[in-house]
C-alpha cells in the first residue's frame, strides 16, 4: 500500500487519501469520533489506546482541527453508508436482544 507524508509528524495518508496514524491502522476519524461521542480528552484517548503515544494522539487531533470540514464530511458520508446498509441487509435474529435468556 502506498502512502503520502503530511506535514504532521505522526500522520500519513493511505493510498485512498485516508489520514492514518503512521505505523498503525488507526484512522484519525476513529479517534475524533470517540472524542466527540464520549467527550474524551487526549489523555483518556491514550488510556483507551495504550498502543498510541500522546504525541500521535495530539497530532491526529491537530490534523482533524486543521481539516475539520473535510473530515466531518467524510464521517457524515460513512454514517450515511451504514444507514443505507442497515436498510438493505436483514436484521440479525440476535439484534435487539438483551440480557440473559434461559
Q: What pLDDT does residue 50 have?
A: 97
Going residue by residue through the chain, which has 102 residues, state the pLDDT in tens, using 9 for 90 and above: 578 888 999 999 999 999 999 999 999 999 999 999 999 999 999 999 999 999 999 999 999 999 999 999 988 988 898 888 888 888 777 766 665 555
Q: Which of 24, 71, 14, 19 is nearest to 50 (CA)?
A: 24
Cell of 54: 500522546
* Domain map (residue ranges) of the chain: 4-85
**What is the grid cell recorded at 16?**
485512498
The answer to whether domain 4-85 has CATH 1.10.10.10 is yes
| Phi, psi torsion values for 17, nearest 5 degrees | 85, 15
pLDDT for 79 equals 86
Read off φ and ψ for residue 27, nearest 5 degrees.
-85, 145
C-alpha triplet 23, 4, 34: angle, nearest 5°: 55
pTM of the model: 0.77
Amino acid at each position: 500500500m502506498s502512502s503520502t507524508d503530511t506535514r504532521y509528524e505522526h500522520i500519513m495518508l493511505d493510498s485512498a487519501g485516508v489520514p492514518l496514524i503512521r505505523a498503525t491502522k488507526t484512522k484519525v476519524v476513529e479517534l475524533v469520533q470517540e472524542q466527540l461521542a464520549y467527550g474524551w480528552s487526549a489523555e483518556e484517548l491514550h488510556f483507551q489506546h495504550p498502543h498510541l503515544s500522546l504525541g500521535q494522539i495530539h497530532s491526529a487531533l491537530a490534523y482533524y482541527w486543521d481539516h475539520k470540514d473535510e473530515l466531518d464530511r467524510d464521517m457524515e458520508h460513512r454514517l450515511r453508508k451504514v444507514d443505507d446498509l442497515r436498510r438493505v441487509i436483514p436484521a440479525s435474529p440476535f439484534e435487539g436482544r438483551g440480557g440473559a435468556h434461559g
